[in-house]
Structure 1
Amino acid sequence: MDEKLNPKDKVLLMRDEGEGNKLKVVKGIDKKGKIDAIDPLKAKQTDFIKIDKHADPLENFFKNFFNQAKNPSHTGFYAVTVDMLDKVLSLSDKELEKFRVDPREYLNKEQEQSTMETKQESAKEVVTEKKDEKMETTSEQKTEFKQFDTNRIPESEYQKYGIKPENLEGELKAMSYGYKSPHLVDINPKIEGVDYPMKARLSLEEQPDGSLKFTPHPYQNQVDLEKPFQGIMLPNDVKENLLATGNSGRVVELEPRPGEKVPSLISIDKLTNRLEAVPLDKLTVSQNLKGAELSPEQQQALKEGKKILVEGMTSKKTIGTDNPRKFDAYVQFNAAKGGCDFSYDGLDRNKYQQNNKQEQSQNQEQNQVRIPKKLLGVDLNEKQQNSLREGKSVYVQGMLKDAKGEPFNAYVKVNNEKGKLDFFKWNPDRAKKQGADVKVAEGNKTQVAVNSQGKTNEATKYSKEPLKKGQQNPTENQAKGQRQQQGVKKPVKKSTGHKM
């Protein structure tokens, strides 16, 4: 707009969640719903959208605003007079609330009705889709997620945040599954030509063209519970719960957009000290948690943000073994982790210790070693597992890896004295009698001799590459290398005698 504003004319401001809820002057919005805003102290009068119910620019702005995608980058709109711009930055959140505006007031009833109808139609489609999905999902009710191909992150994204690809080597695996980076990352984005070095967790967002972009979650020194979060001021009981446990402890109705109520659970991200929320309609609770079946009441309580006691869970490392370790814990959903928190306050941590010791002593009395279901990449069938429990040797094929990195076959037998499994190139059960021949498995004789024992025969003495399972002679390429080595003779170094 070219007209000069009167000091008492009202202009539109918003909080930018991506920059720590910083107040900015709204300039406009593009077709994709991205809001263009600028620092109030740097703004010119021509940048402002004048607050006038009959002004086309403002009406068009809010019309586009209602059509933008979910999860907008703002946390509220405010209308202040031009002469207040230099003071508004120093206002407290409570004082600023007096200036909050509802965008719907600037749309006529016909437009608002059209918008609501569109929302209702979209909601019906979403509900229908969700019903169809629930019919097809497993008992755990998990939505399939296609892992991101991190090679689709353009170089420009790394440059945009001043990141070297090698600095993300330990982060990209988790990010490829839709999680935030497990650690804080040093980034250096440029905003209006100014460098802003900071620490942040990163996540990936897929673009319409299939490429991936970084979404930063900046670190802040401490969590701020006195500022509006997604359109609301947090109730006192929720603040107390967040400070005590890191979780809201109950469902909170957020208002990411004016008039839109979203029941959600809130938690503090302990790495960034920022609040994170998960809408209830995106939250699924499994019927089984670490081997313990959850009742419908327990599942519902977790969805409501409550802390519940779950008994008889099994530690991850011992699931599927002969000696599972049981434990109890208080469990509560954590919106920042997208999983559960476990706490043990007031619980008897030794409750299962006696049972675990008894099982362990019984195993020792029976000279039993834990028998795995999978050994070096190979699934052991029930017969093989039982044979190992009975102290017999079993022949396992295709295990990884031998001394040269190739799959290998071996006889496996329990070593009760050392409490582990031993591997043999021969059948130890047949070599028990004194004087019995000890033989390597027939199909692996040459491979074991060449790869693990360093031996050669006429066919393999020039081959430097390891032989594969069952291979007796070198391949054509290996043979070619042998012939080349045979044709090259080392020059004989002549003695020049000792120098005096």
Structure 2
Amino acid sequence: LDARLSFISNGGQVMLGIHGIRKEPELDRPYFGHIFTEEDKKNLRESGNMGRVADLNLRGNTTEPCLISIDKNTNELVAVRQEHVYIPNEIKGVTLTPDEIQKLKNGEQIFVEGMKSNQGKEFNANLQYSAERRGIEFIFPKDQAFNQQTLGGVPLSPMQLKALNEGHTILVEDMKRKNGELFSSFVTMDKVTGGLQYTRHNPETGEIYIPKEICSVQLTPEDKEALRKGQPIYLENMINRKGEEFSSFVKLDLTSGRPQYSRTPDGFNERQAPTIPAEVYGHLLSAQERANLQDGKAILVTGMKGPNGKPFDSYLKVNANTGQLQYFQENPDVRRNTSQRASQTDNIQQQEQKKGAKQAV
């Protein structure tokens, strides 16, 4: 007999539980009084979780709301009382909303973007509570098909979904970040990893995105046309990220689509002198680190502390146009390799799955 073993507490004594491996889950029989619907069966077979609350008669006299999952190793049905379901407020660096927490407690799936793996890599996944694991499960798309109906709160049309899944680029405007900030971007799905890439330029046509406004200043049709041609425009009373007003000539980089700023209309080709601080987020830069940044090289800085006091690591490099420091998750001096990204994504998924299994035990 092939089986999975576990320890079971019975009246203060520890006993050995033997869970025999079944060819398939028994979904045609009532489970503690619950009769599975066709949708229940479909969800259990596809994701391993039923996806909703069921009232089970576990003690013989009353029913209790429970979540049901399948042990993927044995095909055994496993239940957990809903009152015992714990959902943390934060998962992989992303704070969940009360609505998302309640959906997870009800057994539903939610899609979460911008999570950080243990290696500091950003990833997206569907989350669902697993009764078998007694914890949150990360569900990654098997065929890398994109089936989300919205992006950043913006509904996607059937044509946009079709274009994304066929490897084309779409333009999505007025998406909302986690902090409520609106942004617009060209969006392309990576064929290897299935992740979404957000850019200011269309990688298929080379077209750059002409924004509706720059630093809170609305652009006129004439402004947009000049920017599209690569010409500078002068904008007054712009608001920077610190909330300060400033005026400047503005020009869009025709390759990346990023805005560039200059005090004079012909000063865009002049590189700003790098501003290298002595300290970044609690980390004192060494003379060698400062020299590398001054030379335009990227450096890896570890052990910095964010506003919440949590340590983080990041690559730093001086922006050649503004002279300011920029932060990157990956080394910007190394060309990205899609096969390497695919391997890293597989490793991340395997580690998340192993970690979830350890937590369940």
TM range (shorter): 0.3 to 0.5
Higher helix share: 1
Normalised to the residue count of structure 1, the TM-score between the two structures is 0.31
Structure with more relative contact order (C-alpha pairs < 8 Å, separation 6 or more): 2
Higher strand share: 2
Larger Rg: 1
Normalised to the residue count of structure 2, the TM-score between the two structures is 0.42
